[in-house]
Amino acid sequence: MKLLHQCLFTAIDFESAGAAPGMTDTPVQVGLMSWSLEGGHVDAFVSHLHTDRPIQWSARKVHGIGPKDLANAPTLLSLWPELKKRLAGAVVVAHGKGTEKRFLRAFPGHGFGPWIDTLLLARAAWPDLPDHSLGSICDQLGLSDQVRALVPEKSWHDALFDAAASLVLLRHLIQSLNAANHPLESLF
């Protein structure tokens, strides 16, 4: 049984084009960052993603990604070697993991995981917080400046910024519960 201080955690976040009637959503940006208790935050990666679908106005209003950002962007499938290298063997972290798991279905049988959902952990650890969105939790717990230090010149709804925020939140949870020597399974 692996203990938390022995684990490498890799957070992943996608920003999307937004859902439209009759169309499935598609990713337009992916961000990843790794962290361990002993090694700190490392290995940041971010890329816009090509899509043949228009970015919905509502999505663009949230993340600010437009057609010019995607002009020469790679496809998600072409990033398979990069994603596989970064996620294989790591504990995968996401805030509200449903979106990330859905977009990773592009790689059937990838075997990434186990998964840690910081949204579920935050709801369990701090049930009285009025809002469990990633930005709100980080603001309420005084963690946002740590995220900004890791990803300067970015903000919420940038895929790398949000991935880093998930890791900062996870670190805070592990440290505040003094759980470094607990088994990984204690977070499930």
Task: For residue range 21-65, list pLDDT tens digits in order.
Answer: 777 789 999 999 999 999 999 999 999 999 988 898 888 898 989
Question: What is the pTM assigned to this prediction?
Answer: 0.94
Say how far apart CA 62 and CA 53 lie, in whole Å.
Answer: 17
Split into its structural domains, the chain has a count of 1
Q: Within a domain: residue 107?
A: yes
**Token duo for residue 150:** 């890791």
Where in the sequence is the domain holding 125, given as residue range(s)?
4-182
What would the pLDDT profile of 100-157 be if each residue is shown by its tens digit? 999 998 887 778 889 999 999 999 999 999 999 999 999 999 999 999 999 999 999 9
| For residue 188, pLDDT beyond 90 | no
**Token duo for residue 61:** 């209003």
**9 in helix, strand or coil?**
strand
Q: Within a domain: residue 188?
A: no
Say how far apart CA 126 and CA 132 lie, in whole Å.
Answer: 9
| For residue 165, pLDDT beyond 80 | yes
Say how far apart CA 50 and CA 75 lie, in whole Å.
Answer: 5
Instruction: Give the gyration radius of the chain's Cα atoms.
Output: 16
Say how far apart CA 51 and CA 26 lie, in whole Å.
Answer: 7
In terms of C-beta density within 10 A (0-12 exposed, 13-18 middle, 19 or more buried), how is residue 40 classed?
Answer: exposed
| 3-10: average pLDDT | 96
Residue 4: predicted pLDDT: 95
Say how far apart CA 114 and CA 97 lie, in whole Å.
Answer: 11
Which alpha helices (H) appear in the chain, and where do they start and end? Answer: 57-63, 67-70, 80-87, 98-104, 118-125, 134-140, 144-150, 159-176
Q: Within a domain: residue 127?
A: yes
| 2-19: average pLDDT | 94
Tell me the CATH number at 40. 3.30.420.10
